[in-house]
Structure 1
Amino acid sequence: MTAYDEGLSEAAMPSPTRRQQTGTRSARSLLLTVFGEYVRPSGEAVWTSTLLHVLTGLGVEEKAARQALNRMGADGWIAAERTGRRVRWAPTEHGRTLLTEGAERIYSFGRDRESWDGRWLVLLVTVPESQRDLRHRLRNGLTWAGLGSPAPGVWISPHPSREAEAKQVVADLGLDAAAFSFCGPFAGVGSERDMVEQAWHLGELAEAYEEFVARFAPRPGASGVPDTSGVPGASDVPGLSGAPGLSDVPGASDVPGASDVPDSIGTPRTPDEILFAQIRLVDEWRRFPRLDPQLPLEMLPPHWIGLRAANVFDDLHLQWHATALRRWTELAAAD
């Protein structure tokens, strides 16, 4: 298990079900997103006041924001730099490595899928019920590596290339002497699709994607279509001016109840609103690499909504990026 996964599971995955995991946003989760999206790439430390301004705009109380900062510092993700009575924060070397790893996983997630040769990676490893902490760490690590468990002690992935990552997880936990793995096609006993459903519960995952699309996807003529004015070059990017690229996403406007989602993103117009919308977008999306094993198309239901959700994320992230980054830079410089 990577340390990034530990931080992700603590900050963004406090609940046991996929629906809860994708619906819960904490101060620490949002702070991780801010550091990963803006502080890490800039290479500059950021004042506490800047972070408090952003988190307050995201609905986080100041006390909770300060507690999240202190906890991230205590956990070695970030370090404080004092100038008189003021404090700036920057990722530690350890934290920068983990944030970079997470960013690579997040921004490559959901894109083109490789053709599948029909082989499964199968890992057999068990941990006694009495060792709950070890069981939890094993599950977190293997889940982040994209494996699912259709039965106790059995883990599978349609990506044999994940074997090295799974092997590292098992070795780090001292379980390699009691684990076995092999690769091969599904045989004639049972149903391959039933195995997939038991390992990943695609219905719940589809629900999480539906909620994401309903919250973020703009619809032609609806108030949810983001305003591209003020975004340099937006009119020159195919599919961004007037957001036709998003309205072309099959089914994006047909999600049941899309207009009734309580916390749906409206039209972010001011620079602050666009910055906050971008942070919320990334914060919610970064949960999906842990939930979605990126199954081959052959193993997915027809018209899989995960593909539509990936298009929504990619288009909106690109559309909001310039204005959000400019506003972040202004805030960081003003303090």
Structure 2
Amino acid sequence: MASPFDIEEIYPDDGEHSLRLPRRQAGNSPQGVAVTLLADYTVRTRAALPSAAIVALLAESGVTTAGARTAISRLSRRGVLEGSRHGRRSSYRLSRAAAANLSAGAQWILTSTAATTSWDGCWTTVAFSLPQDRSAQRRALRGQLRWLGYAPLYDGLWISPYELTSPARELLGQLAAGRVTVFRGRQSALDTTSQRAPIEAWDIDAISGHYEVFLRRWTPLVPLVRSGRVDGAAAVRARTEVMDTFRRFPILDPRLPLELLPARWPRQPARELFAAVYDGLAEPAERHVRAVVARFIDSGEPGVRAHTTTDLVTGVRGDESPGEGCRDGAAG
């Protein structure tokens, strides 16, 4: 099954050029919004929601009916969603693989943006060389390196401040068998001003700028959330947007060592702000999603369950039963 999220949602396919920052900070893709919505309210239960309910919820986030139906169809073809029919009605739920992927991904997002682990001052470098006629293989390798938190210091030389795990090492070996080499060590200082520091593989100013955009966008909402003045569709829309935006930060800023970053690095303030909005809107958003889904089912409990950042860190495994909800179009 394809990952519910593509690396291109965060980094555009830039060919042989140096890595660029996200092409989207707002106006997220219909597929991304659909996956975030379903994950936020059904990843525990894997409840099947009527397609009309999914379309209605996406419409509240500005997705057209045609765009919503196209997103659902594409996610189904990718194995992210499973479809079923009952009479004339169709319903969709997260596939088991997608639910597990999203649960692990959500846990990774929260743990990756927590306090930075201690750094030993060493760098892991991944060097590879692939012929021009293996562009698909090269693109897949770059994509995996990005997900693993690496950045290109030079063409064909990617770095990270942290150890390459055994599963990641095995994966990279499969993607570029016989054409990849991994080293770990300290940088040797050169007696020249032309030396490039490894941290320069990341555009620190641009990453900081994205954090600042996030902080400016969401900080004014916190008093309204705490006073209960964000409800209904607005609560769902804000919660979806804040998750869909925040989940990009672990790729942009993969636990970069604080000692290499400017003072008052905004990673922790952004995480605290995300938790304040996401957790604070969990109850009103769940109520609204339940109400929307209830309009499209005859009876039964819809299997809608919101979760908090604490739940995500613990791990939302999708072990709960969806019960008999969405009986009118439940997946078989």
Structure 2-normalised TM-score?
0.80
Q: Distance in 1 between matches of 2:34 and 2:10?
A: 11
Unaligned runs of 5+ in 1: 231-267
CA contact (8 A) 2:222 2:277 kept: no
Q: CA deviation at 1:283?
A: 0.7
Paired residues of 2:235 and 2:285 also in contact (CA < 8 A): yes
1:78 offset after TM fit, Å?
0.7
Alignment of 1:159-178 (within 5 A): 159-160=162-163, 162-173=164-175, 175-178=176-179
- Deviations 1:257-296, CA, capped at 9 Å, x for gaps: xxxxxxxxxxx62322111110111011112222212111
Aligned-partner residue type, residue 328 of structure 1: V
2:5 aligned with 1:7:
yes
**Aligned mates of 1:305, 1:98 — CA distance in 2:** 28
User: Against the structure 1 CA distance between its residues 30 and 14, is the aligned structure 2 distance closer, same or farther, given a 3 Å change threshold?
Assistant: farther
1:328 to 2:289 alignment:
yes
SS at match of 1:302: coil
1:76 and 2:74 aligned: no
Q: How far does the alpha carbon of each residue in 1:154-197 deviate from its partner, in whole angstroms, 9 at most, with x for none? A: 1111111x332431331332x13221112222222378994334
In proportion to residue count, which structure has more helix? Answer: 1
Q: Give distance in 1, aligned partners of 2:200 and 2:29.
A: 29
Contact 2:128 2:156 in 1 (8 A): yes
Pick closer, same or farther for the CA change 1:198–1:52 going to 2, 3 Å: same
- In the alignment, which of 265, 278, 289 is matched to residue 304 of structure 1? 265
Task: Report the equivalent of 2:112.
Answer: 109
2 CA distance for matches of 1:327 and 1:193? 56
Cα distance in 1 for residues equivalent to 2:236 and 2:195: 41
User: Separation in 1 of the partners of 2:46 and 2:274?
Assistant: 25
**1:71 to 1:108, Cα distance in 2 relative to 1, 3 A:** same
| Cα drift, residue 54 of structure 1 | 1.2
> Is the counterpart of residue 126 in structure 1 residue 129 in structure 2?
yes
Per-residue CA shift, 1:26-84, capped at 9, x if unaligned?
10110111122112123211111221111111111110010000000011111111111
Name the residue aligned to 1:42.
45
Name 2:309's counterpart in structure 1: none
Task: Measure, in 2, the Cα distance between the counterparts of 1:198 and 1:67.
Answer: 40
Pairwise CA RMSD of aligned residues? Answer: 2.4
Within 2, Cα distance between the matches of 1:114 and 1:192?
30
Deviations 1:64-123 (A, max 9, x none): 010000000011111111111111101122222222222222222311111111121121
SS for the counterpart of 2:223 is coil
Give the letter for the 2:179 counterpart: A
Report the counterpart of residue 65 of structure 2 in structure 1: 62
Matched position secondary structure for 1:131: helix
Q: Which amino acid aligns with 1:301?
A: P
Q: Partners in 1 of 2:199 and 2:27 — Cα distance?
A: 24
Question: Does the 8 Å contact 1:121/1:158 carry over to 2?
Answer: yes
Is residue 120–residue 157 contact of structure 1 (8 Å, CA) maintained in 2? yes
Paired amino acid for 1:330: A
Q: CA separation in 1, counterparts of 2:193 and 2:199?
A: 10
Instruction: Verify the 8 A CA contact 2:10 2:22 in the aligned structure 1.
Output: no
1:12–1:24 Cα contact (<8 Å) kept: no
Letter in 2 for 1:318: D
Matched residue, 2:215: 213
What is the CA–CA distance in structure 1 between the aligned matches of 2:180 and 2:13, rounded to whole Å?
28
Is 1:188 matched up with 2:189?
Answer: yes
Instruction: Quote the residue 1:236 is aligned against.
Output: none
Q: Quickly say closer, same or farther: Cα 1:11–1:300, change in 2 above 3 A.
A: closer
1:194/1:206 CA distance change after superposition, 3 Å: farther
Deviates more, 1:129-138 or 1:40-49: 129-138
Q: Aligned in 2, Cα 1:101/1:76: closer, same or farther, shift over 3 Å?
A: same
Matched residue count: 290
Mapping 1:234-245, distance limit 5 Å: none
Could you tell me how far apart the structure 1 residues matched to 2:66 and 2:260 are?
46
Post-superposition, which runs of at least 4 consecutive aligned residues in structure 1 deviate over 6 A? Answer: 190-193
Q: What TM-score do the two structures reach when normalised by structure 1? A: 0.79
- Give the drift of 1:132: 2.2
> What SS class does the counterpart of residue 122 from structure 1 fall into?
strand
1:304 is paired with a residue of what secondary structure?
coil
What is the aligned partner in structure 2 of residue 317 from structure 1? 278
